[in-house]
Amino acid sequence: MNTSRTTIVTMFFDIRPPEITTLSTPYKTTDFYFELANAFILRLPYPLIIFMDELDKKTEEFVVHVRQSCGLMNKTYIFKLAIQDTYFYKDIERIKFLMESFIITNSNQDKDTALYVVTTNNKMDFMEKAIELNPFQSSHFMWMDFGINHVAKEVELIDTWFPHIPDKIKQLCINPYLEDTPPKEYFQFIYHNCAAGLFSGSTENLLKYSLLFKQKTAEIYREGWYQLDEAVMTIVQRENPDLFDLFYGDYEGIISNYMTPKHSWWLISTGMRKCLSHNNTRFLFQMLKYLDGYFSLSLNRLKPEFYEYLNHSIICEYYQNNQQLRSSTIQFINEAIERKDPNIQLLLTHNLNNLNYYTNKHLINYEQ
């Protein structure tokens, strides 16, 4: 039996409607997704479980061909079942009914069909099934969309962090849901709060995530509305923050930003400012801790974003770190003072009133 710390789980179901040629949305072909998978996910040298339709010989043959050509069939498990036999298919008629009364303003009706909602929701149940099977005796699992490299940049960076996947659920946060607006009202619009195409964690935490997702989905259906998987995931994250270790950016960084930001700083910056505007220092504190590794590199402490990071740290840490500046914040400030950085003097002057509240402010080496 092969063993590996982490197994990747994915799926491919062709759910394009028969009237594809008459729809306004240009659907991607099967070959388009095959090309993406052939260029990335199927060539990854890691254990892989893929779910597909029981009658889909074409996809099965393609997967086997690519994995065999890479010498990876011993790390490959194919699970076949009919879409009608999946966990969330039972909801399809209810979703169709809800679509008539609950209107998502910016939903693409050609793409976001009831069958699409069912299929994407099933990734949570497929994760459960993969953990139950666990053919490679893994302690951690990761969901990855079959064609994730359609949006992801620098996908090769997966090799730098894949051996070190943490226990908590790690998932990309794009737009923090910090508004006081109740979910049913808020999610009349698709805000892309999180990315559903990749998430990882220990078996224990992933099973909790799946259960919470199923419970939340059933709850919102009872309340008379529906949404895509990303919205349901966002609600679960908001209600269970201790289960998650989020990372930040846009879809392009869904792989490359996993451990440290490589792309979309502008969006991370927007998220931090949103935290302040909603007076949510707890969420901001988590964002700052994610950025710590990035600014531990001295080169990055010469970039403009470094001062934004420090400014948010000075504002936030009083509330989230027992009225003390973190040791890393003090170190970064003092190093900037030592190198006569004029920007740090401006930042300290600007935050003088905030700094006076800290019980360890004396550790800052103010220039005399």
Domain ranges across the chain: 6-253, 289-363
pLDDT at 87: 98
Task: Provide the CA 204 distance to its chain's centre, in angstroms.
Answer: 18
Reading the block at residue 78, the tokens are: 């194919």
* CA pair distance 273, 353, nearest whole angstrom: 20
For 288, the enclosing helix (H) or strand (E) is: helix 281-295
Reading the block at residue 2, the tokens are: 């092969």
325: left (phi over 0), alpha (psi -120 to 50) or beta: beta
C-alpha atoms less than 13 angstroms from C-alpha of 45 in its C-beta half-sphere:
5
**Is the pLDDT score of 154 beyond 70?**
yes
**Is the pLDDT score of 19 beyond 80?**
no
pLDDT at 366: 83
Single out the residue of 194, 192, 187, 193 nearest to residue 225, CA to CA.
187
C-alpha atoms less than 13 angstroms from C-alpha of 91 in its C-beta half-sphere:
27
**Is the pLDDT score of 22 beyond 90?**
no
Single out the residue of 20, 24, 6, 331 nearest to residue 141, CA to CA.
6
For 140, the enclosing helix (H) or strand (E) is: strand 140-144
What architecture is the 6-253 domain classified under in CATH?
Alpha-Beta Complex (3.90)
| 78, 42 Cβ separation under 8 angstroms | no
Sheet with 76-80, side-by-side order of all strands? 76-80, 48-52, 6-12, 140-144, 194-202, 170-173, 247-248
Structure confidence by residue, pLDDT tens digits, 252-305? 999 999 999 999 999 999 999 999 999 999 999 999 999 999 999 999 999 999
Structure confidence by residue, pLDDT tens digits, 26-67? 667 899 999 999 999 999 999 999 999 999 999 999 999 999
Tally of helices (H runs) and strands (E runs) in the chain: 14, 7
Using only C-alpha atoms, what is the Rg of the chain? 23
**Is the pLDDT score of 8 beyond 70?**
yes
Confidence of residue 340 (pLDDT cuts 50, 70, 90): very high
Tell me if residue 351 falls in helix, strand or coil.
Answer: coil
* CA pair distance 225, 185, nearest whole angstrom: 10
C-alpha dihedral, 251 to 255 to 257 to 259, nearest 10°: 150
Structure confidence by residue, pLDDT tens digits, 157-196? 999 999 999 999 999 999 999 999 999 999 999 999 999 9
**Is the pLDDT score of 25 beyond 70?**
no
SS3 assignment for 171-200: EEECCCCCCCCCHHHHCCCCCCCEEEEEEE
* CA pair distance 312, 273, nearest whole angstrom: 9
Task: Provide the CA 103 distance to its chain's centre, in angstroms.
Answer: 25
pLDDT at 114: 96
